[in-house]
Amino acid sequence: MVAMTYRSLFSVLITFLLHVGVSHATEYFVAESGSDGDTGLTRTNEWATIQYAVDNITTGDTITVLEGTYDGFFINWSGASNAYNTVRADAEAQVVINALPPVPSHYHKDCYIVVNNQWPWGGHPLGYWRVEGFEVVGSGRHGVLVLGVDAVSLNDIEIRNNRVHDNFYVGIAVWFVDDAIIENNECYTNGFGNGVGEHGLYFGNSGDRPVIRGNHLHDNAGSGLHINADAGAGGDGICSDVLIEENIIHDNGHIGGSGINLDGCDGGRVVNNLLYNEHASGISVFQGNGAVPSRNLLIAHNTVVLAEDGRWVLNIPTIGSTSNRIYNNILFNLHPTHGSIVLGATNVAGTVSDNNILMNAFSTDGDSTTIDFDSWQALGYDHHSVIVPPLSGFKNPATSDYRLLEEAPGVDDGVMLSEVVADILGAPRSRGCHPDIGCYEWGLQGLLMIVTEAKRELFPWLAPAARVSGQGPAPGSLPAPEASMPAGS
């Protein structure tokens, strides 16, 4: 009996010690009909404004915003690595942000959702926030702005599941942020306001290790995704170890800008992306404002089909863009004279390209002249690649179905890459003797596919067989900067 009592006391003591210093997260609610004088603790005692909630929660708490239309909000304090702060739309609710935050203009910078460590003092640690599920529309600048400073970058900011559209400049802009996750957002019809062409999603200013995954970027004036490390803005001018995967990017570049622009990136992967009907370049790897040419990238398992007014599919015009590996891509161009790959010189050090599906046009002098496939292979490139007429082999490009037919070139024709173990839908690579070329792995419809709600909406033919993953990954030339923002903004 005594021993049992000791064991009981020991158990109580251990339980107490395990909970010492651990904060218990609280969920607060915001509603149009709420009051900032209330507690915010239930769905019947909600706060009225998101800004009040952001200013009054503590580390590790969650703000859930109920159906309605709201002013934006400004975040300038930090969560913790073991206690993220979250501000999110309620499940299944339409929560629209269409007005400026109720803070001074030098805080919000004419953007609707702002995470910024510059104010009220000049640079301080800020990180560990999640912003999820909002519709952000009509900003006079950027819909979502996440902005650090060169001396004190933000870190660990997660922007997920937002729909950001019809903003004057950029849909989602993220600068000086390390370890950002930008995932499963839809950004469209942004960037038409200035007549120059801005972007759906813009990441840059020396931020490192971004994960840009599962976003749907379409019909923006400039690039779908623009990365600009921008040495002129401060910092080292390099975006290191980028991961760009499973994005669906189309109908961008109306005023210029690639589907994916990479300026000043050093290391990382661009894999399993689908780009189609792009009106400028497909994927561009170069040096513009970055401190170094983009280099040391794996560009693999992408399916890219440019529109008739497109430029080059894979554009690597800078001689210093070295040691890029180009495998298992479908690179088609509907332009009458432009082709699949353009390099800045005949031999760019460390460049390897093979096991791709291509068209019979290449350039090794930055698009001054064009060479054919035989001449391209004579330089040591693409000995296991094939030339195929554009659009052939796809199931139904007219309905944006770019999966391969069973007997099409590319099925089982790829090379195994340890860095790419699944396709754009989560199906394992490979199902045959070798992985398939392009972003899809061929197989029975729905077999082993993990599809998010956003991708099911975009590709309705997958809906009957798809299962939704509940957690984890769901599924631009620049105008002159303004003095109040970092260069490249």
CA atoms of 32 and 43, how far apart (whole Å): 11
CA atoms of 146 and 220, how far apart (whole Å): 20
> Among 26-30, 56-60, 120-124, 415-419, which stretch is predicted with the lowest mean pLDDT?
120-124
Instruction: Given CATH 3.90.1260.10, say whether it is the number of domain 27-311.
Output: no
Identify the CA nearest to 272 among candidates 421, 460, 405, 469.
421
Q: How high is the pLDDT of residue 243?
A: 98
> Among 107-121, 393-407, 461-475, which stretch is predicted with the lowest mean pLDDT?
461-475
Q: How confident is the model at residue 23 (pLDDT cuts 50, 70, 90)?
A: low
Mean pLDDT on 132-154 = 94
> Among 13-22, 211-220, 413-422, which stretch is predicted with the lowest mean pLDDT?
13-22
Mean pLDDT on 51-63 = 98
Mean pLDDT on 282-291 = 96
State yes or no: pLDDT of 469 exceeds 60.
no
Identify the CA nearest to 344 among candidates 377, 382, 318.
318
Q: How high is the pLDDT of residue 18?
A: 34
Q: What percent of the chain has pLDDT over 70?
A: 85
For the chain, what is the mean pLDDT?
87
Q: How high is the pLDDT of residue 209?
A: 98
User: What 3-state DSSP class applies to 19?
Assistant: helix
Identify the CA nearest to 456 among candidates 428, 424, 430, 429.
424
DSSP-assigned states of every residue in 369-420: S-B-HHHHHHTT--TT-EE--TTTTEEEGGGTEEEEPTTSTTTT-S---TT-
Q: How confident is the model at residue 320 (pLDDT cuts 50, 70, 90)?
A: very high
Q: How high is the pLDDT of residue 403?
A: 96
Helix and strand numbers (H, E) in the chain are: 5, 38
Identify the CA nearest to 440 among candidates 455, 482, 453.
455
Mean pLDDT on 167-173 = 98
State yes or no: pLDDT of 445 exceeds 90.
no
State yes or no: pLDDT of 15 exceeds 50.
no
CA atoms of 16 and 46, how far apart (whole Å): 32
Question: Residue holding tokens 């200035």?
Answer: 194
Global pTM exceeds 0.95 = no
User: What 3-state DSSP class applies to 133?
Assistant: coil
Q: What percent of the chain has pLDDT over 90?
A: 79
| 8-state DSSP, 39 | -
Mean pLDDT on 401-425 = 95
148: tokens are 């650090």
**What single-letter amino acid sits at 237?**
G
Q: How high is the pLDDT of residue 5?
A: 37
296 burial class (0-12, 13-18, 19+ CB within 10 angstroms)? Answer: middle
CA atoms of 170 and 140, how far apart (whole Å): 10
Q: How confident is the model at residue 441 (pLDDT cuts 50, 70, 90)?
A: very high
> Structural domain boundaries of the chain?
27-311
Question: Residue holding tokens 């090379």?
Answer: 415
Q: How confident is the model at residue 59 (pLDDT cuts 50, 70, 90)?
A: very high
State yes or no: pLDDT of 312 exceeds 50.
yes
